[in-house]
A = this chain, B = another copy of it.
Amino acid sequence: MLRPLTLVRNNGIALYRQIAEGLIEQIQRGYLQPGARLPSSRQLSEQLGIHRKNVVQAYEELLLQDWISTSRGRGTFVSTDLPDMEARRLVAIPETLPAPASAPLQLPAYLKIEESVSHLPYHLDDGLPDPRLIPLTELERAWKSALRRGNQYHRLGYTSPQGLLPLRQALADYLGATRGLMVGPEHILLTRGVTHALHLCLTALIKPGDKVIVPELNWHNGNNSIRYHGAELLTARIDEKGLDTEHVAELLAAHDVRFLYLTPHHQYPTTVIMPAARRIRLLELARAYNLFVFEDDYDFDFHYGNVPIMPLASATHDGRLLYAGSFTKAISPAFRLGYLVGEPALIEQLARLRRIVDRQGDPALEYAVLELFRLEVLPRSLRRARGIYQRRRDHLAQLLTDHLGDQVDFRVPDGGMAIWTTFSPETDLVAASQRGRQSGLSFSDGSQYPGKWNGTRLGFASMTEEELTTAVGLLRKALG
């Protein structure tokens, strides 16, 4: 007896094929037995509410493949001499075996996925770029030309896990010019962002039980990754100058530490810049204690002060420094492209590891971004965005002072895309964030920053000044 067929329009499969394959499946699964009579094409098309030609075409296909037979005047039947009935038996697993006792997998609860809030109209987000400022037209053109030009067997086949050589070359030049990194393409591994770069480094370098130093306030996804790799986290104090290197020195003296993670340029989440003296001290400590240092420079391109301090990686060091950045902020989080910079011997090993992690990047995207470099699109678009974001930063700071001056505390950051804002102790940020969502505003409830802080990041880059004004009005109401 024919079971109901589920047809899905516009799912990429023609209706007649859906019917034919539905019937084959029912025959294979034994629901339709050899010799069973099928409804006429008129009956079935009426049942399904579709044009009869679809059913006629499906039956023709099945006839051709010997799944059904017709007998003039008598009707349509499931064939008694079926083409391949082996698959039918695949349903026949004995149900008498015991079911497994335990849940198959229970990952630690700290591995969480953020709830999506992108349907809301207003976002004082973690510090995201404005999608309206992405050079989309140039990117589309670049993507298109990337697919059409050159050796297609090369461009559209498997490529190097380390990433496209000419893009690594262009990036090396760019990192040299903007960040003082004296590197060539052999120092660079293209990744799918900083998360991916960190995962590769931890997978290669961390054994369970290893100790890793992180700032007491830190990117929670980074902390999660480090914990999941089995490391023990040691938290180092931060203050108004970022990571406290003297506390790091104490930790290093007391523990056998393998790895340290930090965001010296704009400390995440507090946006504080680490002064040069502490950077030097950190490099000395790293060398003295044989420490791997992961320098996450997630938003170097956005600095509004005089001149940014060059990264740790621009200094002489002993080859255990790993420098990571991405195009998340400079283009968009939607195009997954980042980079890891390190000594060539280390980068070569990490590329071999990447081969088994996700094999390679997207060559089309890598060629497209190369094209953006060639056409000088990136510096132009960054310059434009920087000017706009600086005005938005100043506008948000003014709004916070004017409307929430008695409830919040903050320092205008020299760079980045968010203002680290702390709230008076009686403010319930979790409740306020929930009230905000109900009125169309998303902002983080700060629960990822444990302890005394009662603070959160309020992003200023993704909204216009007018939108920021509305958003701060909503924030004020949400804080109650």
Residue on B nearest A362 in the bound complex, by CB: B336
Q: How many Å lie between the Cα of A355 and that of B115 in the bound state? A: 12
> Across the interface, do B195 and A357 meet the contact criterion of CB distance under 8 Å?
yes
> Across the interface, do A355 and B290 meet the contact criterion of CB distance under 8 Å?
no
Q: How many Å lie between the Cα of A335 and that of B156 in the bound state? A: 8
Give, as a whole number of angstroms, the nearest-CB distance from A5 to chain B.
Answer: 10
Partner of A277, one of B89, B134, B136, B283: B89
Given the complex, which residues of B lie within 8 Å of A377, measured CB to CB? 12
Per-position contact with B for A308-337: 1 when CB-CB < 8 Å, else 0?
Answer: 011010111111100000000000111110
> Across the interface, do B283 and A93 meet the contact criterion of CB distance under 8 Å?
yes
Partner of A199, one of B346, B358, B375: B358
> Across the interface, do A357 and B196 meet the contact criterion of CB distance under 8 Å?
yes
Residue on B nearest A375 in the bound complex, by CB: B12
With an 8 A cutoff between CB atoms, is A204 at the interface? Answer: yes
Residue on B nearest A202 in the bound complex, by CB: B356
Given the complex, which residues of B lie within 8 Å of A360, measured CB to CB? 336
With an 8 A cutoff between CB atoms, is A11 at the interface? Answer: yes
> Across the interface, do B309 and A86 meet the contact criterion of CB distance under 8 Å?
yes
Partner of A317, one of B93, B193, B312, B352: B93
**Stretch of A38-46, A173-181, A396-404, A423-431 contacting B (4+ beta carbons < 8 Å):** A173-181
> Across the interface, do A333 and B12 meet the contact criterion of CB distance under 8 Å?
no
Partner of A221, one of B152, B349, B355: B355
Per-position contact with B for A189-223: 1 when CB-CB < 8 Å, else 0?
Answer: 00011011001000011000000000000000100
List CB contacts (< 8 Å) of A113-168 with chain B: 113-114, 116, 118-119, 123, 128, 131-132, 134, 136, 139-140, 143-144, 147-148, 151-162
Q: Known: A196-B359, A355-B221. Is A318-B99 also a contact (CB below 8 A)?
A: yes
Given the complex, which residues of B lie within 8 Å of A253, measured CB to CB? none
Give, as a whole number of angstroms, the nearest-CB distance from A248 to chain B.
Answer: 16
Residue on B nearest A357 in the bound complex, by CB: B199
Give, as a whole number of angstroms, the nearest-CB distance from A138 to chain B.
Answer: 12
> Across the interface, do B334 and A157 meet the contact criterion of CB distance under 8 Å?
yes
List CB contacts (< 8 Å) of A355-386 with chain B: 355-365, 372-379
> Across the interface, do B280 and A89 meet the contact criterion of CB distance under 8 Å?
yes
Q: How many Å lie between the Cα of A86 and that of B65 in the bound state? A: 77
**Stretch of A21-29, A231-239, A387-395 contacting B (4+ beta carbons < 8 Å):** A21-29
Give, as a whole number of angstroms, the nearest-CB distance from A109 to chain B.
Answer: 9
Copies of this chain, complex-wide, total 2
> Across the interface, do A177 and B13 meet the contact criterion of CB distance under 8 Å?
yes
Q: How many Å lie between the Cα of A367 and that of B16 in the bound state? A: 26
Given the complex, which residues of B lie within 8 Å of A317, measured CB to CB? 93
> Across the interface, do B358 and A106 meet the contact criterion of CB distance under 8 Å?
no
With an 8 A cutoff between CB atoms, is A8 at the interface? Answer: yes
> Across the interface, do B112 and A177 meet the contact criterion of CB distance under 8 Å?
no
Given the complex, which residues of B lie within 8 Å of A350, measured CB to CB? 105
Give, as a whole number of angstroms, the nearest-CB distance from A353 to chain B.
Answer: 6
Per-position contact with B for A13-39: 1 when CB-CB < 8 Å, else 0?
Answer: 110011001101100110000000000
With an 8 A cutoff between CB atoms, is A87 at the interface? Answer: yes
Partner of A11, one of B119, B173, B290: B173
Known A84-B306, A195-B357, A224-B355; 15 more pairs at CB < 8 Å: A13-B177, A28-B310, A87-B307, A90-B276, A90-B280, A97-B318, A104-B320, A105-B350, A107-B349, A119-B151, A128-B157, A131-B156, A195-B359, A225-B356, A336-B361
The 8 closest A-B pairs by CB, nearest first: A12-B373, A86-B276, A118-B154, A131-B156, A90-B315, A196-B358, A225-B356, A131-B152
Q: List 7 A-B contacts (CB under 8 A).
A: A90-B312, A95-B316, A116-B159, A128-B158, A221-B355, A335-B362, A362-B365
Question: Contact residues of A with B, CB < 8 Å?
Answer: 8, 10-14, 17-18, 21-22, 24-25, 28-29, 65, 83-84, 86-95, 97, 99-100, 103-107, 111-114, 116, 118-119, 123, 128, 131-132, 134, 136, 139-140, 143-144, 147-148, 151-162, 170, 173-174, 177-178, 180, 192-193, 195-196, 199, 204-205, 221, 224-225, 228, 275-277, 279-280, 283-284, 287-288, 290, 292, 306-307, 309-310, 312, 314-320, 332-336, 343, 345-346, 349-353, 355-365, 372-379, 462
